[in-house]
Amino acid sequence: MELSRSRSRSVLIHLLMIAASIVMLYPVFWWVGASLKDASEMSSAAIWPKKPVWDNFVKGWNFSKEYTFARFFGNTLLMEAWNVIGAVISSSLVAFGFSRIKFALSKFWFAVLLMTMMLPGQVTLIPQYIMYNNLGFVNSYVPLVLPHFLGGGAFFVFLVCQFIRGIPRELDEAAKIDGTSTFGLYYRIILPLILPALVNVAIFTFIWSWDDFMSQMLYLNSIDKYTVGLALRMFIDQFDVQWGQLLAMSLLSVMPSALIFLFAQRYFVEGIATTGLKG
Amino acid sequence: MRKPKGALAILSTVITMSLLVTACGGAKSSNSSDPKSSGSAGTADTAKLNIMWWGSQERHDATAQALDLYTKNNAGITFSPQYTDWDGYWKKLPTLAASKSMPDVFQMDAAYIQEYVSRGLLEDLTAIDLGGTIDQGVIDKSKIDGKLYGVPLSYNGTGFVYNKPELEAAGMTLPKKDWTWDEFFAFAEEGRQKLPAGKYAIGDYTTVWNWYQDYQMAYGKGPMFQDGTKLNIDKDLWFTFQKKYEDFRARDIIPKAAVSAATVENDPKADPLLSGLTMTRGVAVGAVSALEKMMPGKLEVVNNPVGPNGGGWAQSTMYWVVSKDSEHKEAAAKFLKWIVSDPEAGKILKTTRGIPISSTIFDSIKSELSEGELLGIEMYNMAADKAMPFAPAPPGWADFVKTYSDTMTEVMFKKKTLDEAFDVIMKKGEDTQARLAK
C-alpha cells in the first residue's frame, strides 16, 4: 500500500516533469526540424517538414565562395583555445596573488579589480577600440585573446579568489616549512586544489567568448578570420534571410558548447557546488 | 633545483604564448584597417583606402573583384575592404565613428545619412566630379541642406504592381499613372463589384505605418517623424484614413483580417499577389524583379496614389560616402567617380547594389537586365515626377513602429477600437520622444 502510493506519486511527478521538459525543449525540436525545411515550409508550425532537405546543411556549409564553415569553426576553436588557456593561467595566478600574498594596498587593488567588474562593457568599448586600432591589432585575434591573458575577466579572478580562501592556510604553512618558494606554493599546492574552479573558468570562458558577438564583429574584418558567429551573419541580407541554411549552420554552431556542457558536466556541477556559481 | 625549473617552465610558456599570439596578429594586421600604416598620406596616387559596406555574399564577391580591377588600373591605390551584414554594420559603424577610425569610403543608407551628416562625420562631396553620369534631379534629391554628402547608387522607390490580365478579364478600370487617392479607393470598391468572391482589388496595409504616412504626406501634413525626434500624426487625417479601411473591411472590399495576416510577401504560396488574393501589391523598385520572375509577363506597374502634394517616393537610398577624417579624400573621390561612372566597373558590379542609377553603368549592363528589373525602372520613372521626399523611420523609433503595427493588427481583429488604438500609438510616440530628448 505504502509502496504503491509512493510509486504512483513518482509516476505523476515524472509525467509532469516530462511534460515540462517537452515544453522547454519545443524550440529546440522546432529548430532541428526547421533546419531541414525548405523556404516554403519555413512558416508552417509543423515541427517536422514533409520532405526533409539535407541541402540546407550542404549549402550552408559551403555558403561562402572562399571558405567553408570548417575554416570558421577552425578560427573560432583556435581563438577559444587561447582564450581558455589565457583565462585559466591569468585568473589562477592573479587570484593566488590576491588571496595568499601580502603586499601594499592589496585590499585597495582588489577593490579596483572588483570595480572593473561593475564597469559596463559599453563604456570601455570605444577606448579599447581606439587603443587596439592605434596598436595596429584590428583585424587580428589579439584584441579578442589578449584580455584573457591579462586577467581580463575580473569575475573569474574573484571567483577563484573566493575558492582559494576556502583552502586551509595550514597547507601553505606546511609547504613553506618544507621549503617551497611562493611560486611553488601556487604551482604545487594551490593549483591542484583549485582545479574544479578552473574547470568552471574554462567552461565559462569558452561559452562566453563563443557568444561574444559584438567584439568579434568589431575587431575581425576580413572573411578569412571570421568566427562562426560572424559567418552565420552572412546568411542575413537586408531584405532576404536564408533561414534554412542559417538554422542548419547555427544548429552546428551550438554543438561545441553543448558538447562541452555534456562532457564537462561532472566538473561543472562540482564547480557550482564549491563556488556557488550558476550558469 | 626542481622548483624554479617548474616556475620557469610556466613563465616561459606564458611568454611564448603571448609572443605567439602577438606575432600572429602582427603579421596579419599588416593589411588591417590601421590608418597609420596606410602609406604616405594625402596624395591621390598612392593610398590604401579602407572601404566598408554591408550586403549579400554576391555583393561582396562582385565588389572585391571591382576593387582588384581598380588597383590594377591605378598602381599605388590598394584597398582594405571590410563587409558585414546590415545589422552588424549599424552596430559597428557607431563605434568606428566614436573612435574616429571610420573607413575612408563606406556605404550609407538613407535612414542613417541625416544622423551622420548632423554629427559632422561625412565629407561634403558637392564638388565631386561624377562624370555627368548621374541625373541632376537625382543628385538634388540626395542633397542634405543643399550639400551632397553621399553619391547615390541605385534606383529605389515605391509603387504598385498589378495583375493586368486578371483585371482586364474582370473588366476593371486599370490603375493609371498619378491616380489619386480617391481613384485608388474607388478602384478598390469597383473590385468588389466586378471581381469574383475571395478576390480583392487591393490589400489591407493598415498595419504598415508608412502606408498611412504616404497618405498624410500626400495631403500636405508632412512626414510622421520630424527632425528624427518628433512624432507628427494628423488626427483628422488619420481617422479619415483608418475609417476608410475599417469600412472596407466590413464591406469585404479588402480581405478579412485573418486572411491578410496569413499573407507572406514574396512567398510563392502565401504572397497575396502570387496566390491571386489581391490584384495589386505595393512594392519597392528593387523587389519588382522577384515578383516578375514568379508571374512573368502578367505584371504592370503604377506609382503610389497621389494627393495635392504628390505621392510615394523615388530616389536612391544607398550611397557611397567619404569619412571626414579620411586622409585620402582626393583618392577616395577619384575612386568614387570611377565606381559610379566606369562601364567596366558596372559590368562587374551588375545589379548587386540595385539597379545602377548612373547612366553610363546602366547602359553598359542594360542588355543584361531582366524584364523584371526593367519593369522596376519603369515604376521608378512613373513615380519620379510626383515623388515626395523619402521619409524612413529615424533611428530610435523601431519600437514605436513595432507598437504601431501590433496595435493596428488588434484593430484589424476588432480587439481595439480606432480611438483606443490612436491613444496607444500617441502614448508610445510621446514615450519615444521623451526618451530621445534625454
pLDDT in tens, B107-156: 999 888 888 998 899 999 988 877 778 888 888 888 888 899 999 988 88
Please, are residues A32 and A251 in contact by the beta-carbon 8 Å criterion?
yes
Range A170-178 average pLDDT: 88
Q: Which residue has the higher pLDDT, B58 or B112?
A: B112
Alpha-carbon distance values, A53 to A34, A78, A210, A236, B83 (Å)? 10, 31, 28, 20, 30
CATH number at residue B148: 3.40.190.10
* Structure confidence at residue B8 as a pLDDT band (50, 70, 90): very low
Tens of pLDDT along B12-45? 444 444 444 444 433 333 343 444 434 444 455 7
A279 within some domain:
no
Sign of torsion, CA A208 A213 A215 A219?
A: positive
Please, are residues A37 and A57 in contact by the beta-carbon 8 Å criterion?
no
Tens of pLDDT along B388-402? 988 888 878 888 999
Alpha-carbon distance values, A94 to A21, A86, A162, A176, B219 (Å)? 41, 12, 12, 20, 68
| Closest Cα in chain A to B287 | A239
3-state secondary structure of A83: helix
Q: Taking the model in full, what pTM does it have? A: 0.74
Across the interface, which of A86, A125, A139 has its CB nearest the CB of B33? A139
B418 within some domain:
yes
CB < 8 Å to B31, chain A: 139, 222
Do B30 and B170 fall within a single domain? no
Q: Is the pLDDT of residue A276 over 80?
A: no
Q: Is the pLDDT of residue A238 over 70?
A: no
- For chain A positions 51-90, those within 8 Å of chain B (CB to CB) are 63-65, 82, 85-86, 89
- The last residue of one of the domains, among B355, B384, B413, is B384
| Closest Cα in chain A to B82 | A221
Do A43 and A71 fall within a single domain? no
The span from the CA of B55 to the CA of B93, in Å, is 14
Structural domain including A14 reads 2-54
* Structure confidence at residue A14 as a pLDDT band (50, 70, 90): very high
Cβ within 8 Å, pair A214-B91: yes
B182's CB contacts (< 8 A; 6+ apart) are none
Do A6 and A125 fall within a single domain? no
For all residues of chain B together, what is the average pLDDT?
A: 85
Do A35 and A130 fall within a single domain? no
Number of independent structural domains in chain B = 2
Do A164 and A216 fall within a single domain? yes
Quote the minimal CA–CA distance from A17 to chain B in Å. 35
| B410: its cell numbers | 488588434
The span from the CA of A153 to the CA of B15, in Å, is 19
Do A48 and A175 fall within a single domain? no
Do A87 and A141 fall within a single domain? yes
Torsion angles phi and psi, residue A39, rounded to 5 = -55, -35
Q: Are strands B77-84 and B299-303 parallel, antiparallel or unpaired?
A: unpaired
Do B150 and B237 fall within a single domain? no
3-state secondary structure of B34: coil
Cβ within 8 Å, pair A234-B57: yes
- The last residue of one of the domains, among A34, A54, A74, is A54
Do B256 and B357 fall within a single domain? no
Partner A contacted by B82 (CB < 8 A): yes
Do B253 and B202 fall within a single domain? yes
Quote the minimal CA–CA distance from A130 to chain B in Å. 6
**Which helix (H) or strand (E) element contains residue B216?**
helix B209-218
Alpha-carbon distance values, A110 to A200, B32, B252 (Å)? 21, 37, 71
B182 within some domain:
yes
Cβ within 8 Å, pair A233-B81: no
Q: Which residue has the higher pLDDT, B244 or A267?
A: B244
